[in-house]
Structure 1
């Protein structure tokens, strides 16, 4: 048995190992069949599709996303979402229902979906990496949709096109999009500004670039 445990430890990717053996933490959760009741217990999130709950008597229960409305672990809030694809094209897959971290809420809810990619090398070694994608969902939507990441190959064109419809009534946010100021790391700030009505927290570098774009002379297409 000890040898088997050692072999599993060697073969199991480090990210998956950490998820499997992470410890229980105090938290609260709400169930689909009783959404107004906040249950307390020790919680452990395993992957993105299983919540383990240990009650005061030490009884452990496994809950699927279909059974849970939301739960909290420390400062993090998790909800359920589904119907989105991890990536466009033939290599993506549709996520039916999963636990996702809620980053902002309001007009458009911003969430983060985390999943593991496992790869095998030619020498038999197993590797893994953790992938995070932003997903969004408005209150009247049935399914969530995944936002494209910022790609340097197209200078973020797909990301800008995906964000533009939500900034139609916010000239300040539209200006950020038009001046290509948004990257993956400031998407939460974009949606917080959208949902709260507050201005986007511009950095000095962003303000400088926007000013330069405004001062750039407009080229005459008919000039020789």
Structure 2
């Protein structure tokens, strides 16, 4: 996965399903030990993944909380939103970012308008 997992390939993992329908949104958390660190002082990293229901290809959503609505986020998510000009506009105008991913996918899957909400951090 480019942009996530520190260049490592994960062939099997448990991921949290955030939303499902025509697009599945998932979250994968993993422990990242920094060079020279002990096992107890690494950090927990989070990777967000998208997959179309009729596909086996999973896409890593690039971005971080500092630049969560940046160019990498936009170029990765826009292909999933082709049928929703309202969601495309929100992404292109940087009204939404990585922290809003679950709500964006929920709006896409339900056909409902996206309601801009304060992101939930956990």
Same fold (TM over 0.5): yes
Cα root mean square deviation, aligned: 2.5
Cα contact 1:114–1:133 (8 A) shared by 2? yes
Give the 3-state SS of the residue equivalent to 1:127 in structure 2: coil
Question: TM-score normalised to the size of structure 1?
Answer: 0.46
Rounded Cα–Cα distance in structure 2 between residues aligned with 1:180 and 1:125: 37
User: Which structure features the higher share of strand residues?
Assistant: 1
Identify if the C-alpha distance between structure 1 residues 133 and 125 changes in structure 2 by more than 3 Å, giving closer, same or farther: closer
Identify if the C-alpha distance between structure 1 residues 141 and 181 changes in structure 2 by more than 3 Å, giving closer, same or farther: same
> Structure 2 matches for 1:80-91, cutoff 5 A?
85=1, 87=3, 91=6
Which residue of the partner structure matches residue 110 of structure 1?
Answer: 25
C-alpha displacement of 1:179: 0.4
Rounded Cα–Cα distance in structure 2 between residues aligned with 1:135 and 1:125: 26
Which residue of the partner structure matches residue 120 of structure 2?
Answer: none
Rounded Cα–Cα distance in structure 1 between residues aligned with 2:107 and 2:68: 25
Cα contact 1:101–1:112 (8 A) shared by 2? yes
Instruction: List gaps (5 residues or longer) in structure 1.
Output: 1-84, 204-224
Identify if the C-alpha distance between structure 1 residues 98 and 154 changes in structure 2 by more than 3 Å, giving closer, same or farther: closer
Cα contact 1:110–1:135 (8 A) shared by 2? yes
> Structure 2 matches for 1:65-104, cutoff 5 A?
85=1, 87=3, 91-104=6-19
Deviations, residues 45-68 of structure 1 (Å, cap 9, x unaligned):
xxxxxxxxxxxxxxxxxxxxxxxx
Cα contact 1:86–1:133 (8 A) shared by 2? no
C-alpha displacement of 1:190: 0.5
Identify if the C-alpha distance between structure 1 residues 115 and 86 changes in structure 2 by more than 3 Å, giving closer, same or farther: farther
Q: Which has the larger radius of gyration?
A: 1
Instruction: List gaps (5 residues or longer) in structure 2.
Output: 118-122
Question: TM-score normalised to the size of structure 2?
Answer: 0.81
Identify if the C-alpha distance between structure 1 residues 96 and 86 changes in structure 2 by more than 3 Å, giving closer, same or farther: farther
Higher relative contact order (CA 8 A, sep 6+): 2
Equivalent residue pairs, number = 116
Does 2:116 correspond to 1:202? yes
